[in-house]
Amino acid sequence: MTDALLNPLLSLNADAMPQLLALGFGAPWMLWGMAAGTIPVVIHLLNKRKYRQTQWAAMRFLLAALRKNKRRIELEQWILLAIRTLLVLLLILAMSRPVLESLAPALFAGQRSHRVLVLDGSMSMTRKLTDQTRFERAKSLARQIVKEARRGDVLSLILMADPPKVIVGEPSPNLEQVGREIDLIQATQGGTDLTATFASLRRVLESSPLPNKEVLFLTDLQRATWARPGSDNSAALKLEVDKLNAAKIRPVLIDLGASSEPNTAVINLSITSPVVTMGVPVNLRAQVRNFTTQSKPSARVRLYVDGQLGPEQSVDLPVGEPVTINFTYIFRDAGDHVFEAVIDDDPLGADDRRRLVVPVKEKLRILLVDGDLKPEPFAAETDYLAQALSPAESLQAADPATPNSATAAPSDTGLPPIALEVIPESRLNSVEVGLYDVIMMANVSQPSIPEAAALDKYVRQGGGLVIFTGDRVSPEGWNSRLAVAERDLLPAMIGQSIGDAVKKTGAFLIDPLGYRHPLVTAYEGANPSVLSGLTQVATLQYHKLIRPPESTARVALAFDSGDPAVIEVSKGRGRVVMIATSADSQWTTWPLHPSYPVVMGEMALLAASGRTGEKNSLVGEPIEQAYPASAGTATVALRTPDKGTRELALKVDSESSYLRIDPPDVSGLYEAEIGPPLSRREKFAVNVPVVESDPARVEASALKESVPGFDPVVIKSAEELTKAAEDVARRGEIHRPLLIAVLALILLETLMAWWIGRRVVRVSTT
């Protein structure tokens, strides 16, 4: 490892640095071999035995030469003996695997250390390199670090994902088991939650009683992971980083990424109509984007419908600009159908295709809940509303206790076939709300607590709720049941009543607010006679709708007094629309104007749009689908994109049965076959997050700014990775230098023995 890298590594945990050096041993039993150091001494002593002396003539000259060089010869023999003894001692010492202790506990860890490996599991890590993916390369490095870990070290393993996964939480001394877990771990095709990752890291570190702790990140430093645009949890992230710094742990980050990596992706696939019915043309919109630094001409975009190749288009992709491709298709059968837009393959293949599950209906099911249901024509609260949604026939109830039903054929309003049911307010608690695409409540006094809970769950699972006020509405009842912290469903609080429909002292006109909202965009640019059917609506009385601070609700229409007339908001997968006045002509003339059926139809479609959304989600988001309570705990066979099958069961609560699939890690098509009594098949599309398609990186120099307080040692060079991984695992071990010293002593002993022997021979022949 270079000095530039080694110096900051040596600075880790410097505050805890003791004053003395000590030695620890990986194989202390080998120290018994130190006794072998006496062997050269014993041999030397044996050579000093006395023998019977015999005088001969030439001996006089040899003895004279030896007496002359006696001191030098004895010194040379003592040096040679010391070298041989030291050679044996160093060899035994090296075999005992000594390590330096106490210089810096977290690095020269002769003491046991707890090392946490954090692997980036985001989609960008699945980029294909020459012979493996980037994540496979990270796993290979992680295995090497584990393999070279010191005896007595313990390890933990975390996968950076959304949410993160603690693979090995409790510090494990079983290095083989940790290695097997690394082999089994798989990258996700989603993003990462950096704050949750650091929180998981903190909990893992706190679970260890060992004082010496190390953290190693293996990541590609993608911007979507380390500096995600629009992230609003920077304060929580900084708090977690500060806790890591307070523990005096400076992580090491191994950078596996590279700059200027090309990528093209399908970033969006949607339908322009919120509800799709049989025989009606569907306008499909696909968006692709080129993330490279060069334009890409003639890129092919192919459309598949239910697995069959459909239309294909060739488009030029400029740098960084999304390109929209439009397709048209007509479905002949009801049920779940799958669109798939595919672009040419590239090294990051997960985002080269995007899927969209489209529920095709025979008709749109709408439930009208009437707060004052009456049998006389146009005397009930919902009569005008039913007529607007079902112009083919007027829905009248002879018996308020009996729901009315009808199916309307498509009309010039552009509405799909609609199945309407009308019930009195008193029967709402006995209805399975999950059977309907939209629930419209007109002048309902207030929902009961069970009804409020059922409506909240219904909307968040994709249902549409439309609420009209009126003279029977209790603002306090609605606000206390559906505008509270635990059940924040309403787009606005219902306030006091404004105006007087009885005295008819004044009227409020509609302000279309520039026709910006989808409910009224069709009126933009229309001639004055058409516009008057909307702008000349006279409202004599309405409830003031009060948006909470920081609300995401949108005002679609307003009164000329400035108060909202129609306001809507998304809640979960569903949508809630609130109208400040009545659905009938008691408070407003709107039901008598030609704009009423147009806007009410658009309102029904807007509210129903969540039913498509619940079939489509992103990696990392759970899949949820509600069913009638009569489905019970039916068995479910779930087929995953890898063609595997899992056995599940529907869950049951007080209101309904529902299917819940834990957040998937892999994009693709999930098919659920639900057994009796429901006996139906559902399809769900899981796509990759768009933000993960952008290969932009956070450079190491800017990492501290993107993650405040995070200042790791960054290993940048690709050629340095293998050696760096070994050095991080081996730091503090000194048996290798000892073996090098042994080799040097062997060479020195051989040369010195040869030199001494040669001098003795020279003396003896002189």
Whether 412 and 325 map to the same domain: the answer is no
Which residue shows structure tokens 């806007």?
Answer: 599
- Structure confidence at residue 486 (pLDDT): 82
Residues in CB range of 371: below 8 A, 6 or more apart: 381, 425, 441, 442, 443, 444, 445, 470, 472, 473
Q: What is the mean pLDDT of residues 316-321?
A: 91
What letter represents residue 678's amino acid? L
- Structure confidence at residue 34 (pLDDT): 60
In a domain, 141, yes or no: yes
Using the 3D structure, point to which of 341, 361, 381 is the last residue of a domain: 361
Name the token pair of 62. 């040899």
Q: What is the mean pLDDT of residues 10-35?
A: 48
Give the whole-angstrom CA distance, residue 263 versus residue 622: 27
Give the whole-angstrom CA distance, residue 270 versus residue 525: 26
Residue ranges making up the domain that contains 489: 364-613
Q: Are 208 and 112 in contact (CB under 8 A)?
A: no
- Structure confidence at residue 234 (pLDDT): 76
Whether 341 and 440 map to the same domain: the answer is no
Q: Is the pLDDT of residue 412 over 60?
A: no
Q: Are 269 and 304 in contact (CB under 8 A)?
A: no
Q: Quote the pTM value.
A: 0.70
Q: Are 373 and 366 in contact (CB under 8 A)?
A: no
Residues in CB range of 434: below 8 A, 6 or more apart: 458, 461, 463, 626, 627, 628, 656
Q: Is the pLDDT of residue 432 over 90?
A: no
Q: Which of 256, 234, 225 is nearest to 696 (CA)?
A: 225
Whether 96 and 35 map to the same domain: the answer is yes
Residues present in the chain in total: 766
In a domain, 618, yes or no: no
DSSP string, 46-76: HTT--------TTHHHHHHHHHHHHHHHHHH
Rounded to 10 deg, the angle between the 721-730 and 134-147 helix axes is 30
What letter represents residue 73's amino acid? I
Whether 118 and 241 map to the same domain: the answer is yes
Q: Is the pLDDT of residue 495 over 70?
A: yes
Whether 544 and 437 map to the same domain: the answer is yes
Q: Is the pLDDT of residue 441 over 90?
A: yes
Give the whole-angstrom CA distance, residue 428 versus residue 423: 7
DSSP string, 346-408: -SSGGGSEEEEEEEEESSEEEEEEETT--SSTTTSTTHHHHHHH-TTS----SSTTS-EEEEE
Whether 396 and 534 map to the same domain: the answer is yes
User: Percent helix, strand, coil in the chain (nearest 5)?
Assistant: 35, 30, 35
Whether 457 and 603 map to the same domain: the answer is yes
Instruction: Provide the 8-state DSSP code for 738.
Output: H
Is the Cα torsion angle 225, 230, 236, 242 positive or negative in sign? positive
pLDDT band of residue 751 (cuts 50, 70, 90) is confident
Domain CATH number, residue 344: 2.60.40.10
Q: Which of 345-349, 485-489, 580-584 shows the lowest mean pLDDT across its residues?
A: 485-489
Q: Which of 435-449, 618-632, 708-722 shows the lowest mean pLDDT across its residues?
A: 708-722
Q: Are 265 and 352 in contact (CB under 8 A)?
A: yes
Domain CATH number, residue 388: 3.40.50.880
Residue 667, SS3 per DSSP: coil
Q: Are strands 651-652 and 657-661 parallel, antiparallel or unpaired?
A: antiparallel
- Structure confidence at residue 281 (pLDDT): 87
In a domain, 628, yes or no: no
- Structure confidence at residue 402 (pLDDT): 40
- Structure confidence at residue 592 (pLDDT): 94
Segment of 233-242, 276-285, 662-671, 753-762 carrying the highest mean pLDDT = 662-671
In a domain, 674, yes or no: no
Using the 3D structure, point to which of 597, 613, 629 is the last residue of a domain: 613
Domain count along the chain: 4
Q: Is the pLDDT of residue 608 over 80?
A: yes
Q: Which of 283, 287, 281, 291 is nearest to 269 (CA)?
A: 287
Residue 568's DSSP bridge partners are 554, 577
Q: Is the pLDDT of residue 211 over 90?
A: no
Q: pLDDT per residue over 265-311, tens digit each?
A: 999 999 988 788 888 888 999 999 999 888 899 999 999 999 999 88
- Structure confidence at residue 69 (pLDDT): 65
Q: pLDDT per residue over 547-591, tens digit each?
A: 988 889 999 999 999 999 999 999 988 999 999 999 999 999 999
In a domain, 382, yes or no: yes
- Structure confidence at residue 760 (pLDDT): 57
pLDDT band of residue 23 (cuts 50, 70, 90) is low
Can you list the positions of beta strands (E) in 473-629?
483-484, 487-488, 493-499, 510-511, 541-546, 554-559, 564-571, 574-579, 616-618, 623-627
Give the whole-angstrom CA distance, residue 169 versus residue 201: 9
Whether 84 and 199 map to the same domain: the answer is no
Q: What is the mean pLDDT of residues 647-669?
A: 88
In a domain, 658, yes or no: no
In a domain, 565, yes or no: yes
More confident residue, 1 or 372: 372
Q: What is the mean pLDDT of residues 340-369?
A: 93
pLDDT band of residue 398 (cuts 50, 70, 90) is very low
From the number of C-beta atoms within 10 Å of its C-beta (0-12, 13-18, 19+), residue 97 rates as buried
Q: pLDDT per residue over 105-137, tens digit each?
A: 333 334 678 999 999 999 999 999 888 999 999
Q: Are 669 and 685 in contact (CB under 8 A)?
A: yes
Whether 575 and 711 map to the same domain: the answer is no
Order across the sheet with 154-160: list the strands. Answer: 165-172, 154-160, 114-120, 213-219, 252-255, 713-715
Give the whole-angstrom CA distance, residue 216 versus residue 686: 31
Give the whole-angstrom CA distance, residue 422 versus residue 427: 10
Whether 280 and 379 map to the same domain: the answer is no
What is the pLDDT of the chain when averaged over all its residues? Answer: 83
Q: Which of 339, 353, 350 is nearest to 272 (CA)?
A: 339
Whether 391 and 280 map to the same domain: the answer is no
Q: Are 271 and 282 in contact (CB under 8 A)?
A: yes
Whether 185 and 290 map to the same domain: the answer is no
Using the 3D structure, point to which of 315, 344, 361 is the last residue of a domain: 361
Can you list the positions of beta strands (E) in 10-164?
22-25, 98-101, 114-120, 154-160
In a domain, 94, yes or no: yes
